[in-house]
Every structure is written in C-alpha cells, then in structure tokens.
Structure 1
Amino acid sequence: MELKAPQDSSIIPRQWYNIIPDLPEKLPPPILPNGAVAGPEVLEAIFPRELVRQEVSNERFVKIPDEILQLYAQAGRPTPLIRAKNLEKALKTNARIFFKYEGVLPAGSHKFNTAVAQAYYNMREGVERLCTETGAGQWGSALSLAGSLFGIKIRVYMVRASYLQKPLRRILMETYGAEVYPSPSSVTRVGRKYLEENPDHPGSLGIAISEAIEDVLSSRGTAKYSLGSVLNHVILHQTVIGLETLKQLESIGVGVEDVSYVVGCVGGGSNFAGLSYPFIHYKLMGKTNTVFIAVEPKAVPSMTKGEYRYDYGDSAGLTPLLKMHTLGHNYVPPPIHAGGLRYHGVAPTLSVLLKNRVVTPVAYSQREVFEAGVLFAGTQGIVPAPESAHAVRAVIDIARKYARGKEKPVIVFNLSGHGLLDLAGYSEYLNGSLQDT
C-alpha cells in the first residue's frame, strides 16, 4: 500500500456539490398517486425543513455548517486516497488505480457523511427521535452514532435477512444506543401484514422503509424519518468524498482531465454519486472524457434490467412516487450478503444520468464479487465490504484490459466500507457454500 495524498484538514470542502442544476435534463419531480406534484409540504411531514430545502435546491453549492465540518475532521476526514500498487502488480496492468477509503470513518463506511448532517439538522429543529431502515447495517450504524452525538433517539428497522446474517451490526447499533428491529417486524401494521403472509419473510429495504415511515406518521410529530440513500439531500452530503478526491489527486499531479474511469457500487446510489458527481460536473461541462461505471448485483439489477418510470420508494406505497430505474416496489431480492445493494430502485438524479448514458451500469454475481474482495484483501490488506467489493470487481476487469500497450489510464474508485463485520460472507465463499446469484 502507498498513501499518495496528504491528510490535511484544509482539503475538506466547505461546500457540498448539488448536481441538479447541471443535469442534462430537468429532474422529474416526485408526484402523488393522483399525478399532482408532491410539494415541500408533503416532504416536511417526515423530514426537517432544512433537509427539504436541500432536497429541492437548485443551488450548485450548499454551505457545510461549521459544526459538521468539525465533526468531519474529528472523524478522520479527509479520508485517505491510496494508490493500489500491490493490486496493480498482481494484475500486471499499466493502469494506475486509486481508491478513496471511507472505511476509516466511525462505524466503518461512508454513511457517516450524511448521518451526522441529517442528525444535526434534525437536532436544530428540536427532533427527539429518528426512524430509519438499514440493509447490511452500515447506514443504521452510522445514524445510531450520529444520534448519540446529537442526543437524538434512533430506531432502526433492519432487513431481516441481514439482521440474521450480520448480528454484529445489530450489536454495534445497540452499542451506540439505538433500538433495532428485524424487518418485517411486529411493531408496525405494515410489518405484521408481511409476517402474516410469510412468517419467515427475508424482508427488503422497501418494506423496512415502509415500517420506518409508518412509525413516523403515527408518532404525532414526535419523530422524523432519516434516509441513507436515493434522495438528493443525502447524495449532496456524500459529495464531500469526490470533492476531497479531486483535491487529493491534484496534490499529486493528477488533474481531473487525467482520470479515465470513476467506479462505484450502487444500491440506492449514495456512495457512487458521492465520489462521481463532482467528476461528472466536469464531464457535463465538456471538459473531460472520463468513463463512469456504476456496479450492481445481478440479484438486484435495477439499473441493467429495471424500467425507468415512476414508482414508490417503499413497498407499502407510503412515499411519493419517484421517477427512477426500478424493479418495482414489491420486488423482494434474494438475501445476498451485499445487503446495502438490495434496493429496488436507484436515485432519480442517477437515473437521469443513466438515461442520458453519462453513466454505464454493469452487474456481477456474488461469487465474482467475493473473488475480487479476496484478491484485494490479499494485495492491499483491506477486506472490503461486500458492497464495495462490487466496485473492486469492476476495477479489476477494467485494469486487466491494460496489461499490454502503452496506455496508462487512471482508475479511481470508492472503497465505501470495510468488511470486518461481513466475514460470514467471506467464510461462505472460502468454504464453497456461497450461493451464486
């Protein structure tokens, strides 16, 4: 391993980047079932006013409050940008591979970036409790910590398949003070409905979102909802990743025009967008020819096989409808280990970029992903989360194309979290019992 960029707090950006004004076409608004546009007042029923303002903002840059900047710095931002020289050597490639390592953050993933921002704005408006969903548990862990930092109670509905696969994630959330329920649960009407249909229901992010929103709507204003991906304000907060990366690359003599590929995994889209959107800004301005690769599991192929249409963000239809690439809000994905990528749709902003072919989607099976994760761990020393290992798989395939010739492309990817709480999945791969989906 070789650290190639300085960890200097001056690198932390003072503003988040909002891609909405730069999109190649106008972002379709959220709508109600009757076709009417869902205005800010609809969103304010479950989100604090400032986050709703960010959700609909057309400002290209949004100031990061000083309190959040301080927490970013205390948590370890800027996160390391590392050149994967050992991986390059193993692949015998001419490519230069850099990864932004978000796994050094508290709770082990990039989710901390938006968790502290959302908790801060909720605290400012006097919110006492937040409800959320989580897949693999990275988002739930990050929000649980943020709630502890700001004195807000956290309730997490964790997809049942991951709740059973990853008990250490649940313990981490509870250590931070959160309540954690397997979803579908017996706590909500929505959860009880799905359990009655199937007592062994594996759950889905769509169902867990429905449970969290029902909880908020029945709280009579004492709770708000917090989301870990998909919506604009969430993606906005994550752009700290890409903005830092641009500065770190520049500090070692690599300009934005030198970057050939930017790669990230996609569930709802937050970690891919967090790295790529600041780079896509230059692509949309016509200043670069960078190729953007968004990676998903074959088991949940929302980008590669989903339809681009309006759909609910949750299984019970409690949210407004969003125009996005979707497999349908009733889709129940198989219980793959990459629980954070088991969402039926993707971010509306990312969907616009997919439609306009600014971003190229690819999909891999579980076995391909864990094979890449093991190779990366053996060369770079970091065990990637199963979600992040999707990006590693794509990077490996790209890099192998440059084993001959004189081209030396620069590949940048987001290693969005570590897999030290996901070793059960690696164990299944290593002992040959992993189900390939």
Structure 2
Amino acid sequence: MDTSPPAPAAERKTLSLRQVLLCGAAIVTLSMGIRHGFGLWLTPVTMDRGWTREAFSLALAVQNLSWGFAGPMAGMLADRFGAMRILVGGALLYAAGLALMAVSSTAAGFLGSAGLLIGLAQSGTTYAVVYGVIARQVAPERRSWAMGVAAAAGSFGQFLMVPVENWLIGHTGWQNALFVLAIAACLIIPLAIGLREPAGSRAASGPHQSIGEALKEAFGYRSFQLLMLGYFVCGFQVVFIGVHMPSYLKDHGLSPQVATAALALIGLFNVIGTYAAGTLGQHMPKRYVLSAIYGLRSIAIFIFLQVPLTPWSVYVFSAVMGVLWLSTVPPTNAIVAQIFGVQHMSMLGGFVFFSHQIGSFLGVWLGGKLYDATGSYDVVWWLAIALGVMALLANLPVREGAIARPGAPGRAAAAGI
C-alpha cells in the first residue's frame, strides 16, 4: 500500500465551486435530459419499424445494463486519469449512439445503438463521473449540498428536454429528432474541459488504497451492500415509469400531450426534490432521507392505482413522483464518500449505480415483457410498490460514519465527519 503523504490540502489546487457546479450541472442536464425522453420514441419507432414493445423495451433495458456494467470502469478511469477525458469520450459515444439509433433498421441494430452504445456513453457522462469531481473538489461540509445542486440540474434537464424532444419528433420526425440530439450531446465536450482537475487535486488525505483493497473493503461492508440494494429498487421504479408511462396513459385513452406534460412535471418537481434531499443530507442522517423517499414512492404509486385515471390525477402523481425521482442520488453518493473517502469515489459510486442499472434493466424489460404477456402493466406497478417497502427497510440500518481503518489517523476528518 502506498503510504506516502499527499500534498497538504492547503497546497493542492482545486477548481472553484462555481466552475465545478456550472460545468457539472450543465453536463448532467444534457446527458440526463436527453435520455429522460426516450419513452416518447416507443410508439413512433415500434409503429414505423413494425416491432413489438418488448423489442424496444429490451434495447433500453440493455442500455441501462450496459450503463451499469461500464459505470465502475468509467469511474475507475476517471479516478485515475481525471474526469475530463472520460467525459469527452462519453460525449462522442453518445452522439454516435443517437445517430445510429436513428438509422437502425433491424431490432438487433437498434439494440446495439440505443442499447449498448448509448449505455456505454452514459456511464461516462452522468453522475458517477461528475460526482467524483464534486467529492474531490468541494469541501466535505458542502458536499451533499453540491451533489444536490448537480442532481437538481439533471432534473431541470429532464423538464427542459422532454417538451423539446416531443416538439422535435412532431415537427421533424423521430429520426431527425435523434440527429439533433446527437449534435446536442457534443456540447458536453467543451463543458468537460471546465472539469479538468489541476495536477495533485485528486490526491486524497490519509493512506492510499489500491483498487483491489478499496473493492474488498467496500463489498465486505454491510452498509455498502444495503445502499446497493436500495439503489436497485430506485432504478426499477424510475425507469419503468419513465419509459412505460407514455404508453400506459395512451392505453387508457389519454392524449400524448398528457404523457409529455407528465414527464416534464417529473423533471420540474425533481429539481425541488433533489436539491431538498442534498440540503437535508447536510442536517440529518441521510439514511432516514433515503428511507422516507422509498416509502413515499410506494404510497404515491398505490394511491395512483386506486384513484380514477384522469389528466389531473396523472399531473398530481407526476409532481409527487418528481419530488422523489432522483432525490436518492445526492444522499446515496454522499454516504459513499462519507464512509470510504474520495480517493475511489467515482469507482465505488459506479458500483452502487450498477445495482441501480440492474433494477433499471428489470423495470423496463419486465414492463414490456409482462405487458405483451398480459395486456396490462398492473403486475409491474404492484411489484414497484413492494420493492419500495423493501428499500425503505434496507436503508434504515445503514451506518454513515467513516469506516475504521487500522493505522489511519484522521480518517474521520478526511471523510468530512
């Protein structure tokens, strides 16, 4: 183990808080905003290509799984070489994937572009990489709040991009809309330059760990396992709703405009929810914030299924779910940094997010699979409720304090405890 002392904090150059938040928030706005509207393509793509909903759902399920598989590697490379290079590579893959998604004429080609390629791109342009920069460049006492700001930006991107994407599909056709988004993804490249970390600023206080040591420690720690379990549920719920909500509403006779408004409301109210979750995480145990979010999601879905389905019930449900949508992201990542420190933050955040993406895969795929088998989404809605209760219980025993490491004095201070 390398125990050579890093440069003192006072000697390490860091990016300004404003620069980190502006560039990081803009990147998340683009990367998350583009993907949030993919459900709008389900109907036009399947009708134009003559595919089943399961074929479309499988591609997006593979996208989420590919994103999850590549996330730890992208995080590992970002921890080692800096986030900028990973963000630039991810932006180029994103643009290529969107363009190929537009021209794929077979289900297999669509699976490769919309699924594999865009999933790889998202692993390098979303939270794990950006949050690694925030963890290293922002003081511990402001870390949870800063993560909340970045997540709120991603939420605003969802609110902003959904009506834009719907307008593009309606006025230019679904294929040309994807070409426009490919160009938009390239805007991540100049923003990534703003997150180029100064030499030495990625150094962490205390003894350094190898990658193997960090992984052995994390996966052997109960609280890390529980965080992964909760994040699995998060992925299942939000991706099922985000992808299948438009078709669910259409099946019940509601107009496409209602679905567009619903997705936009989720993004708008998630700005509030993610910022609030990040701020609350500075003032109360983050595990309680997470448990409350999962429990409230289950309650919201249950009530939604019990009341008559009208545009206004959809809007209310979307607003409530919006507050709870990505609000799990700031406290989950802040707990990881708080327990293990920031040296391997992007990598460990990537592994936690991998569990999220396994849930996402099952949520989006089972949504299409069970719909085709039963003609209804009812089973998946009820499964989402049960999983939310499970996540509530899983987060309660999480220990947020810095993990004890023999021979590592000052570890708690390094983690921001």
Establish whether TM, by shorter chain, passes 0.5: no
Greater helix share, structure number? 2
Bigger strand fraction: 1
Which structure has more relative contact order (CA 8 Å, sep 6+)? It is: 2
